[in-house]
Structure 1
Amino acid sequence: MKKEIPVGAVWTLIKFFLLLAIAAVGAFFALENSQQLTVDFVIFQSTALSLGLWLMIFLAVGCLLGLLASSVLITYYRRKLARAAKRD
């Protein structure tokens, strides 16, 4: 009798290795771009951090802003769809 591996466990393992690979690439990227950099924002000047770290921070902030913008649109269209379904 064969034991079947649950599909959820396989996806969890794949996600774990994908996250580990992304973290490794990010760490290598940060190590290769170790020049110190200060960023001048409109209101204040930041502390000196490595270029790789700044780029990863800005990438993360950009991804979060993109997710926020898309979630607002998805919520708008779900409400619109619910209203249309209620009318019918």
Structure 2
Amino acid sequence: MDDDDFRSILRSSCVDVWTFIDTAICVASTDYRNELKDRRDGIIERLYTPTIPRCKNCDLDSMKSNNKEIKKVQSEDSLINLLQSLADMDITFKALKKV
């Protein structure tokens, strides 16, 4: 099932996504307890590392540049400034790890 199929199911069911997720978790924990337990780590990882990078205000080159600068930092103030510039970017951990 792709994202558009899921959206179509949500629209036709008149159920909001959070109710759908809560119900799916309840059914999975009741009817598929062992499989849910086996998949738990993968589910958690997907929750915290989206598959689509969300970096809108930056590019890979600027991330690489900031990463190199952080490695050369000499003072606390310069580190704080560099970290603040990274914090201002809309970026995921997965995208940052690629740098």
TM-score (norm 1): 0.33
Larger radius of gyration: 1
TM-score (norm 2): 0.31
Q: Per residue, is there more strand in 1 or in 2?
A: 1
